Structure 1
Amino acid sequence: MPSFDLLNRVELFMRAGTFPVEASKSSKKVTRAASKHFIYKDGCLLRFYRGRLLRVVRSDEEVREILVRYHDHNKHAGRVRVIKEIMLMYYWVGVTEAVKTWIQACAVCQSRTPPEPPAPRVQFCLAYGCDASSYVYPQLSFHRFPKDKERRRKWLVVSQRDEGSLRTNSCLCSRHFEPACFSLSEEGQLTLSPDAVPTAMPVTVQEDEVPVPSDEDFLQYGTLEDLLSTAAAETTDPSEAPVELQEHQYCLPGPDPDSGEVQTAVMELKRRKTVIEPSFKAYNQIAR
């Protein structure tokens, strides 16, 4: 339990203006200086602490009663919560140590199963174009950027990043280091050498990426329809391409213009032209 000797001397000095008979000169000086933080009112000693007026506890029995109330009868709350709630109302020298000792001696708290450790944070590789993470590739190891300015600059050059991209948990995965950069520890684990420098890794491009047309592509073609038709022709499967006309096939007589199939095809072309022209009029002007 905490010692109440200083608080008793402060209470005597503020109540009667005297010191204990056996008090030394240095003890009187300490008591007089400490009394500036206290006030004696209605037979109670109070202390100003963090903008609040707290009641001073000056006996072991009262300390036990407070600990039982704020811990045992408070669903066996944790140390931080108990200290915070006590220091909102009471004050004595050694509140933190008293709460810690009380919880360590509590049979209920000691019989509780320890909480499961939190899952490790997922780490990502900072190198440009690298998709490695500790969740997708648990077999990889991740290494934080060095504090040495010159070594960190070399790491940034290889990873194609700058100082503004770095965070406290920025890492590079083990795929960017040569096998010679690792050494086997006594526990049988691979550790990265202190002077290791990563090597450049090629940037992988997804196969399903579609190139986006640039401004030069728009200027090269007369209209947006030409650009779209060219792009469609490039992406069309060669096996689905139409059969080329045979020699002199253009000289063969065409279908009867009065037939129903021809009339239907002409109407369909007119309808498509009517729908497409207003939609692409603005795009054609921009492209030109």
Structure 2
Amino acid sequence: MPSFELLNNVELFVKHGKFPADATKSCKQVTKAASKKFIFKDGFLWRHYRGRLLRVVKSDEEVKEIMIRFHDNNNHVGRIKVVKEIMLMFYWVGVTEVAKAWINKCEVCQNRVLPETKKPSVQFCFVYGCESSSSIYPELSFHRFPEDKEIRQRWLSVAQRDENSLRSNSFLCSKHFEPSCFTLSNEVQLTLSPDAVPTIIPETEQEDQVPVPSEEDFLFSNSLEDLFSKISSPPSAMELQEHQYCLQDPEPTETHKDMEQKRRFLNESSFKVFNHIARYLSHRVLPMQNRKGISSLKRMTNRFALKDGVLMYTIVSPPVRVLRSREEVNSILRQFHDDPGSLCAGFLPERDHEAVSSGPE
């Protein structure tokens, strides 16, 4: 509880013009200076504060009554609201600390279930040609561009970007830094040195030129699987049965191998396209494509949206989540293996789901 010695001395001086018998010279000076903001009226000491008169509280019993009134009997509201309401009517030194200590000892407040914290947003690497993101590569660390102009320009040079393309959510992933750029902190965590400069530049290969569907394909396709089936020739003679992915593969033939390669190429290409879409929606960063491919990609983004870092296909109602990596597909298959008809139709892309659902209508 706070100390009320100064307030008692001020009341004595305002009411009777006297000081305590044992008051020192410095105590008298402080009391006299402080008394200019106080008056005694209707049996109470009052303080002028921002055009209002606040009743001065001078005992622990009064403090307890006020805290019960403004906190316990007020739906156990938070500290900020409690302090705000008290300071509209009462005054004593240390209101905030008293409210904080009172709430920390309140059993109702301590046992209250806190709402779930919002998941951190997905971070993408800003380096041209790098497809790293915190959702697909959680083991990587992502670092903001430094404020030092000279070092920032060296970062931009490696990223193959210019100053005008920088945003507040622009990051470089740890793949572009040498191990010597990191130091071990006291919490046994690797931290990037303040003067670290990236030196590892990603190799740009022709494989980055992933096929992008045309706008005409988008307009006349009934589902995403129909859409991406036009990128490459999908298997036509063999349809996967329910739970067939659990069965032992038949003896490989030349035809079967060709079909499997085409299916894998289709899926991996669609993953790349979806990752390009998510990156463009989040950072407005385009992949290394020709002009026609970039135009098609921009048009495609109108049918998608990012929600808490998750890519959603918004043309259907309700919107469905888009799977963007082989790991996510495997996770969904493991999760819904025993109940294939529940939610598998709500995740894309995978032609393995055709036996369950032909895609969103």
TM-score range (shorter-chain normalised) is 0.5 to 0.7
Q: Distance in 1 between matches of 2:185 and 2:20?
A: 65
Measure how far apart 1:29 and its partner are: 0.6
CA positional deviation for 1:169:
4.6
* TM-score (normalised: structure 2): 0.50
Instruction: State the secondary structure of the residue aligned to 1:109.
Output: helix
Shift of 1:120: 1.9
SS at match of 1:172: strand
Q: Greater relative contact order (Cα 8 A, min sep 6): structure 1 or 2?
A: 2
Equivalent position of 1:123 in the other structure: 123
The residue aligned with 2:201 is: 200
| 1:144 CA displacement | 2.1
3-state SS, counterpart of residue 143 of structure 2 = strand
TM-score by length of 1: 0.61
RMSD value, Cα? 3.3
Separation (CA, whole Å) in 1 of partners of 2:11 and 2:47: 11
Q: Deviation digits for residues 154-193 of structure 1, max 9, x if unmatched?
A: 0022223344544555311234446776688999976656
Over 3 Å counting, the alpha-carbon distance change for 1:94 and 1:176 in structure 2 is same
Q: Matched residues in 2 for 1:65 and 1:46: separation?
A: 18
Structure 2 residues not aligned, in runs of 5+? 213-288, 293-361
Residue of structure 1 in register with 2:108 after alignment: 108
Q: Percent identity?
A: 62
Aligned length: 212
* Corresponding position: 1:39 with 2:33: no
Deviations 1:7-61 (A, max 9, x none): 1111121222222222221111101111122233333222223443322111211
Structure 2 residue aligned with 1:229: none
Report the 3-state secondary structure (helix = DSSP H, G, I; strand = E; otherwise coil) of the residue aligned with 1:121: coil
Q: Distance in 1 between the 2:176 and 2:141 partners?
A: 11
Q: How far apart in 2 are the matches of 1:143 and 1:87? A: 43
Structure 2 letter corresponding to 1:19: F
The 3 A distance-change label for structure 1 pair 163 and 16 is farther
What is the alpha-carbon distance in structure 1 between the residues aligned to residue 20 and residue 180 of structure 2? Answer: 75
Q: Report SS of the residue matched to 2:120.
A: coil
**Which consecutive unaligned segments of at least 5 residues does structure 1 have?**
213-288
> Which amino acid in structure 2 is aligned with residue 200 of structure 1?
I
Taking the TM superposition and a 5 Å limit, the aligned residue runs for 1:261-280 are none
Letter of the 1:36 partner, please give it. K
Structure 2 CA distance for aligned equivalents of residues 180 and 153 of structure 1: 20
Partner of 1:266: none
CA distance in 1, matches of 2:96, 2:86: 10
Q: Give me the whole-angstrom Cα distance separating, in 2, the residues matched to 1:196 and 1:185.
A: 19
How far residue 76 of structure 1 moved from its aligned partner, in angstroms, is: 1.5
Q: What is the letter of the counterpart of residue 207 of structure 1?
A: P
Aligned residues of 2:76 and 2:109 also touching (Cα < 8 A): yes
Specify whether residues 199 and 86 from structure 1 end up closer, same or farther in structure 2 by C-alpha distance, changes over 3 A only. same
CA change 1:153–1:61 in 2 (3 A) is same
Which protein is bigger by CA-based radius of gyration? 1
AA matched with 1:32: K
- Counterpart residue identity of residue 199, structure 1: I
Rounded to whole Å, the distance in 1 between the matches of 2:26 and 2:190 is 60
Distance in 1 (CA, whole Å) between partners of 2:198 and 2:75 is 54
